[in-house]
Chain A
Amino acid sequence: MMRYIYKIIASAGLALVLIPSVLHYMDILGNDQMKTFIFLGTMLWFAGAIPWLGRKKKEI
C-alpha cells in the first residue's frame, strides 16, 4: 500500500517539475511561480522516490 502512495507522490513530483515550465512558455505562469513549483516538484520526487526506488537490492 505504502509503495503505491510513494509512487503517486514521486510521479506528482515529476509532473510538477515539467509542467510549470510548459505553462511558463505558454505565458500562463510567471517566472517566480514557475521556479517555486519546480522546487516543490523536486521535493515531492525525492520524498516519494527515495523510499520507492532507493531500497537496497542486488544489482549488476
Chain B
Amino acid sequence: MSNASTISKRLDSLYEFDREPVSRSKLQGIGNFLGIYAGEHVAGTEFVIGMLFVAHGVSVKDMFLGGLIGNLLAVGSWAFLTAPIAVRVRLSLYWQLKKICGSLLVFIYNIVNALMFCFLAGAMVAVAATAVGIPFGIQMPSLQDLFPNSIGWVLTVMGVGIVITAMAILGFDALARFAKVAAPWMFLIFVTGAIAVLPKLGVTPGASNFWEVARESIWTGVALEGQSQFSIWHVIFFSWLANAAMHLGMSDLTIFRYARKWQYGFASAVGMFMGHYVAWIASGILYAAANSDAPGVVAYEAIGLAGAICVVVAGWTTANPTLYRAGMALQVASGWSRWKVTLLAGVITTTAALFPALVMKLLDFVALYGLVLIPMGAVILADHYFIPRLGLQQYYADQKKISFNLAAGATWFIMLSLALFINFYFHVELYFLPAPIWIISLGAYLLFSRFYQKPVKA
C-alpha cells in the first residue's frame, strides 16, 4: 500500500464518525452555540492579549471603539461567511477540504495545524507557569524576555508541561467538561479582578473619574519602552482576525454544520463580546494596576489566590483541547497510539513554552496562526460559491480521485509566501495581512483552477 493511501485511510478512520452530512434529527438549538462560544472564547490567552494592548500603547478610544468594530467584523465573518456554507453542506472542515483538496494536501494542512496548536498550547503552559511559580518565588519573565531567564522558570514550565500532558493523556474528556464548568467563573474572575483594582488606580465611587483614569493610567496611547506603537487599526484588525482560522479559515464549519439556520452564526457575538471585549478590557485594567508582566502575578496581586488559580485553570483548559487536536493530527502522520502522539505534542508544547517570547509576542503569533490557515478557507468559499458559476468542477479532488489538488496547494503556498515576503520586505505587520491575503486567495484559487482543470476536462 502506498504512503498516500495509508495516510488517507488513517485520516478517514479518525474522522469516520462524521463522514456523512449532519442529519436533520441531529440539528441543535441556538442555546448550544451560545454555550460553545461563551466557553471557548474566555480563555488563558485573554489574560495576555488585554495586557499586551496596554503595553503597545493603545488609547482609550482605540480599545473601546476599535475593539467594538473588530469584534463586530468577526461576528459578521462567522455569520455571513462560515455559517451559511456550514448549513448548506453540513460537513466538517476535514471532509470539505478532503473533497476539494485531496488527502495528501489535507494531511499537510493537518500537520501545519498541529504545530500551530502545539505553539498555542505552549503559550498557555507558560501563562499557567507564571501562576504556579509564585509560591516558589521564581524570577518571572518580563515583556523584554524572549529566552528562558532562569533555572526556576525552566523547572516550573517543565513541571506544568508534564502535568498538563499527563492529564491530557489520562483524562481528556473529563478535562474538557471541567473547562466548560470553569468558563462562567473565569469570566467573572476577569470582571471582579478589574473592579477590585479600580481604587488602586484612583477610580473612586461618586467621582465619575473612570474615563480620566483610563486615559491617563491605563490606555495612555503611549507604548512601553521596546514595544511597537499600536493604533486603532491594530485593535480593529487584531480583534477581527484573532480567530481568523475559525471564521475566514472555516474551521468552525465543524460546529455550525449542526445549526438549524445560518443566523446561528451570530451566536459567536457572545464569545466575542465576553471574551474578546470585556475580558480584554478587564485584563488591561489589571495590568495597569500591577507591578509585573507575568499574568499569574498580575491576577494574584489583584484578587489573591483565586486570581492565581484562574490563570492556571485558564492556561490548562486552553492547552488541553489544543494538545488533543495536535495529537489527532500527529496521529495520522505517525500511526502511533493516542497516548504516544499526545506525549509527543506535549514535549513540543513544553519545549516551546520555555521561551517567554511565545507569551510576550502572543499577538504576532495569533496573527500568524490565522494567516497560515486562512487561504484554505478562501479555497472552500471559492469552491462553494464561484467554481460552479465559472463552469468548473466543485469538489475537484473527490470527483477526479486525486490526492493533491494542485490549484488549492498552489493557492496556499504562493499566498503564504506572498504574505511573508510583504512582511519581511515591506514591513507590513502581520495583523494587517490575513484580510487581503484571504481576498487574493479567493481570486488565485479561481484563476489556478481555470488553468488546472482545463486539460482534465478536455
Residue ranges of A at the interface with B (Cβ–Cβ < 8 Å): 13-14, 17-18, 20-22, 24-27, 34-36, 38-39, 41-42, 45-46, 49-50, 53-56, 59-60
Q: Give the residues in chain A near B198, CB-CB below 8 Å.
A: 25
23 pairs, A vs B, C-beta closer than 8 Å: A17-B192, A20-B196, A21-B303, A22-B195, A25-B195, A25-B196, A25-B203, A25-B205, A35-B306, A38-B189, A38-B303, A38-B304, A38-B307, A42-B185, A42-B189, A42-B309, A45-B185, A46-B182, A46-B185, A49-B181, A50-B178, A53-B180, A60-B255
Given A20-B192, A38-B192, are A60 and B181 also a contact pair (CB < 8 Å)?
no
Interface string of B169-185 (1 = CB under 8 A from A): 00001000110111011
| 4 cross-chain pairs, A with B, having the tightest CB-CB distances, nearest first | A35-B304, A21-B196, A21-B192, A21-B195
* A60 with B36: CB separation less than 8 A: yes
The dominant DSSP class at the B interface is helix
For A35, give the chain B residue with the smallest CB separation.
B304
* A39 with B306: CB separation less than 8 A: yes
* Residue B4 is within 8 A (CB to CB) of chain A in the complex: no
For B22, give the chain A residue with the smallest CB separation.
A60
A27 to B196 CA separation, bound complex (whole angstroms): 10
* Residue B191 is within 8 A (CB to CB) of chain A in the complex: yes
A38 to B196 CA separation, bound complex (whole angstroms): 11
Q: Give the residues in chain B near A14, CB-CB below 8 Å.
A: 184-185, 188
* B188 with A18: CB separation less than 8 A: yes
A31 to B366 CA separation, bound complex (whole angstroms): 35
Residue of A18, A38, A54 near B178 (CB, 8 A) is A54
* Residue B305 is within 8 A (CB to CB) of chain A in the complex: yes
Q: Give the residues in chain A near B307, CB-CB below 8 Å.
A: 38
A60 to B189 CA separation, bound complex (whole angstroms): 27
Given A21-B195, A41-B306, are A56 and B185 also a contact pair (CB < 8 Å)?
no
Q: Give the residues in chain B near A20, CB-CB below 8 Å.
A: 192, 196
* A17 with B189: CB separation less than 8 A: yes
Q: Give the residues in chain B near A25, CB-CB below 8 Å.
A: 195-196, 198-199, 203, 205
Given A24-B196, A59-B32, are A35 and B181 also a contact pair (CB < 8 Å)?
no
A60 to chain B, nearest CB (A): 5
A6 to B309 CA separation, bound complex (whole angstroms): 22
* Residue B28 is within 8 A (CB to CB) of chain A in the complex: yes
A59 to B185 CA separation, bound complex (whole angstroms): 21
B211 to chain A, nearest CB (A): 16
Residue of B36, B181, B184 near A54 (CB, 8 A) is B181
A17 to chain B, nearest CB (A): 5
A60 to B252 CA separation, bound complex (whole angstroms): 11
* Residue B249 is within 8 A (CB to CB) of chain A in the complex: no
* Residue B258 is within 8 A (CB to CB) of chain A in the complex: yes
Given A25-B198, A50-B178, are A34 and B303 also a contact pair (CB < 8 Å)?
yes
* Residue B193 is within 8 A (CB to CB) of chain A in the complex: yes
* B28 with A60: CB separation less than 8 A: yes
* A17 with B306: CB separation less than 8 A: yes
* B188 with A17: CB separation less than 8 A: yes
A27 to B191 CA separation, bound complex (whole angstroms): 18
A6 to chain B, nearest CB (A): 11
A49 to B181 CA separation, bound complex (whole angstroms): 6
* B205 with A17: CB separation less than 8 A: no
Q: Give the residues in chain B near A36, CB-CB below 8 Å.
A: 304
Given A24-B196, A25-B205, are A46 and B306 also a contact pair (CB < 8 Å)?
no
For B33, give the chain A residue with the smallest CB separation.
A60
Q: Give the residues in chain B near A26, CB-CB below 8 Å.
A: 205
B15 to chain A, nearest CB (A): 15
Residue of A18, A55, A59 near B192 (CB, 8 A) is A18
Q: Give the residues in chain B near A50, CB-CB below 8 Å.
A: 178, 181
B181 to chain A, nearest CB (A): 5
Residue of A38, A39, A53 near B181 (CB, 8 A) is A53
Q: Give the residues in chain B near A22, CB-CB below 8 Å.
A: 195
* B199 with A17: CB separation less than 8 A: no
A22 to chain B, nearest CB (A): 6
Given A13-B185, A17-B306, A60-B258, list of 7 further CB < 8 A pairs? Answer: A17-B192, A18-B192, A22-B195, A25-B196, A39-B306, A42-B189, A54-B177
A13 to chain B, nearest CB (A): 8
Query: Which of A45, A50, A55, A56 neighbours the largest number of chain B CB atoms within 10 Å of its CB?
Result: A45
For A56, give the chain B residue with the smallest CB separation.
B177
Q: Give the residues in chain A near B205, CB-CB below 8 Å.
A: 25-27
Residue of B173, B184, B193, B305 near A21 (CB, 8 A) is B193
For B300, give the chain A residue with the smallest CB separation.
A35
A12 to chain B, nearest CB (A): 13
Residue of B181, B185, B255, B258 near A17 (CB, 8 A) is B185
